[in-house]
């Protein structure tokens, strides 16, 4: 009996030490797969939870009080010794009193007579509180058919669009007065929390050495990447096989305050292999239904603060991108590090590129 108890205890300890599954939250009613990355992130961070029976209720309208709770968790606000905002409809006995007070004390919600904790939260209000909560900057003359300078939250809506947190609807509208759903607010919140503007270009002061696996001839090469010149648009990097001194087609990298692109010189006039708008945030940033030369391709930012082993180096703060195409079964995964560039690339589970070392010129 004692031996049996020891075995049971050992099993329980082993299970407790196993890493948690941080893959898809797999809510039964979450059918829109374009938002799963963001919702999974909030679940993993302990910011949102589902309902019983593994339901998320994605289309349920979120209330002002619920938004206060999520923002308090996301920002890690202190709910001890909060200052009473003296909302007439939020007493100290209210179950969300501390969270509502915390976000008001932070300046995220206005000082008014009433808070209306059970009121539906609109998309325009969402833009205002996210801009305040995360101190978002920037604005473009971004056009939404139903957003004018008279729209409450006008500047904040444009700031969120500038930072690629929102895209609006297919008809060009934003619907600022519409209630925001649990799924959409969760997505916008996760994007704001993970917003990042990394430099994805290689550093021209270094020579890069990659291990390369050619999927076309199933051979492995050691490739040397060295900055050569700027052609007026792109950084041109010469690529050479270190074993045979064979020259590969040049790599072109396009860097801009708002754009990153990478291409092979032989076909760069028509297509970039990867073309991204900056800043980045988690979630789908390019959808296969989008028009243009990238039609049919989905690019998802899985994380803006991941880790990866490349060569003998363990990198942190890694941007991990996943690229899928309706024309291929190959899933490409890119790993970028700020101010270093690409450190690893996978095609399905095959490592195609891996940075082995960088040496100063």
Distance CA 263, CA 250 (A): 9
82 shares its domain with 132: yes
151 shares its domain with 228: no
Which residues make Cβ contacts (< 8 Å) with residue 21, sequence separation at least 6? none
Distance CA 139, CA 161 (A): 8
Give the domain-ending residue among 193, 228, 244. 193
Distance CA 208, CA 210 (A): 7
113 shares its domain with 180: yes
* Tens digit of each residue's pLDDT, the chain (361 residues): 444 444 333 333 333 333 334 334 568 888 888 999 999 999 999 999 888 888 999 999 999 999 999 999 999 999 999 999 999 999 999 999 999 999 999 999 999 999 999 999 999 999 999 999 999 999 877 789 999 999 999 999 999 999 999 988 989 999 999 999 999 999 999 999 999 999 999 999 999 999 999 988 899 999 999 999 999 999 999 999 998 888 999 999 999 889 999 999 886 566 888 999 999 999 999 999 888 778 899 999 999 999 999 999 999 999 999 999 999 999 999 999 999 999 999 999 999 999 999 999 8
CATH (domain of 343): 2.50.20
Give the domain-ending residue among 136, 165, 193. 193
218 shares its domain with 172: no
- The answer as to whether 29 is a domain residue is no
Distances (CA, A) of 269 to 229, 240, 252, 261, 312: 17, 22, 10, 12, 36
189 shares its domain with 210: no
119 shares its domain with 249: no
- The answer as to whether 30 is a domain residue is no
- The answer as to whether 42 is a domain residue is yes
Give pTM, 2 decimals.
Answer: 0.89
211 shares its domain with 347: yes
CB atoms near residue 267 (< 10 Å): 12
168 shares its domain with 273: no
- Show the beta-strand stretches assigned E in 114-258: 206-214, 219-230, 235-241, 247-255
- The answer as to whether 92 is a domain residue is yes
230 shares its domain with 147: no
- The answer as to whether 341 is a domain residue is yes
225 shares its domain with 282: yes
Give the domain-ending residue among 143, 160, 193. 193
45 shares its domain with 177: yes
Distance CA 36, CA 183 (A): 9
174 shares its domain with 48: yes
Residue showing tokens 């209630």: 179
Range of the domain at 126: 36-193
- The answer as to whether 61 is a domain residue is yes
Quote the number of domains for the chain. Answer: 2
- The answer as to whether 143 is a domain residue is yes
- The answer as to whether 23 is a domain residue is no
């Amino acid at each position: 009996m004692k031996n049996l108890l020891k075995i049971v205890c050992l099993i329980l300890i082993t299970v407790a030490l196993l890493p948690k599954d941080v893959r898809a939250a797999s809510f039964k009613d979450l059918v829109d797969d374009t938002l799963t990355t963001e919702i999974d992130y909030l679940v993993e961070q302990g910011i949102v939870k589902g309902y019983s029976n593994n339901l998320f209720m994605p289309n349920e309208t979120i209330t002002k009080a619920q938004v206060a709770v999520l923002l308090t968790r996301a920002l890690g606000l202190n709910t001890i010794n909060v200052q009473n905002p003296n909302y007439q409809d939020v007493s100290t006995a209210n179950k969300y009193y501390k969270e509502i007070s915390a976000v008001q004390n932070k300046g995220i919600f206005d000082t008014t007579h009433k808070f209306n904790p059970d009121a539906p939260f609109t998309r325009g209000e969402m833009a205002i509180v996210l801009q305040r909560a995360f101190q978002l900057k920037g604005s473009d003359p971004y056009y939404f058919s139903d957003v004018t300078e008279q729209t409450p939250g006008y500047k904040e809506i444009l700031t969120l669009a500038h930072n690629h947190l929102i895209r609006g609807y297919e008809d060009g509208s934003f619907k600022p007065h519409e209630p925001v759903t649990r799924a959409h607010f969760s997505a916008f919140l996760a994007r704001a929390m993970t917003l990042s503007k990394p430099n994805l270009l290689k550093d021209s002061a270094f020579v890069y050495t990659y291990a390369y696996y050619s999927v076309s001839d199933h051979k492995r090469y050691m490739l040397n990447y060295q900055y050569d010149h700027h052609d007026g648009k792109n950084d041109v990097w010469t690529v050479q096989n270190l074993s045979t001194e064979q020259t590969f087609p040049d790599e072109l990298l396009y860097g801009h305050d708002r754009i990153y692109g990478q291409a092979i010189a032989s076909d760069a006039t028509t297509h970039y292999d990867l073309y991204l708008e900056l800043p980045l945030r988690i979630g789908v940033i390019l959808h296969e239904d989008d028009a243009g030369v990238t039609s049919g391709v989905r690019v998802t930012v899985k994380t803006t603060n991941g880790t990866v082993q490349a060569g003998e180096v363990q990198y942190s703060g890694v941007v991990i991108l996943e690229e899928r195409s309706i024309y291929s079964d190959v899933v490409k995964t890119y790993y970028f590090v700020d101010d270093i560039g690409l450190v690893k690339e996978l095609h399905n589970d095959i490592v195609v590129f891996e940075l082995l070392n960088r040496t100063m010129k």
